Amino acid sequence: MYLLTLQFDENDMSDFDWLVKLENKLIDSLSSDDEVDGHDIGQGEMNIFILSRNPEQTFTEIQSQFKELMKRDDFRCAYRPQNSNEYTPLWPKDLISFSVT
């Protein structure tokens, strides 16, 4: 199992409402093989965590269903095995490293 992380910049408190709405939309739209595992916000970033057996396929699904995310300059996405802290970046394509603070 992998942890797929969607990450955005936190700019103000209205971002929290947006993050929760996105999280609920993901819960409603992702396949039954994926489980939205919550979110966190702070230290200038917001994250949504998704448990997935195939994170690259899940990300492809997110790309097709949530095209507006792909247009955001602050959207980053990566995944890691649950038993590891080393992320594999997925988005943007030129992203070299990824971390959750």
Residue 9's pLDDT is what? 93
**List of domains in the chain:** 2-91 (3.30.70.600)
How far, in Å, CA of 48 to CA of 37, rounded? 8
Work out whether strand 45-52 and strand 35-42 pair parallel, antiparallel, or are unpaired: antiparallel
Residue 31's pLDDT is what? 87
- Mean pLDDT, the chain, rounded, equals 94
Mean pLDDT of 17-36: 93
Residue 87's pLDDT is what? 98
Encode pLDDT of 27-66 as tens digits.
999 988 899 999 999 899 999 999 999 999 999 999 999 9
Rounded to two decimals, the pTM is 0.94
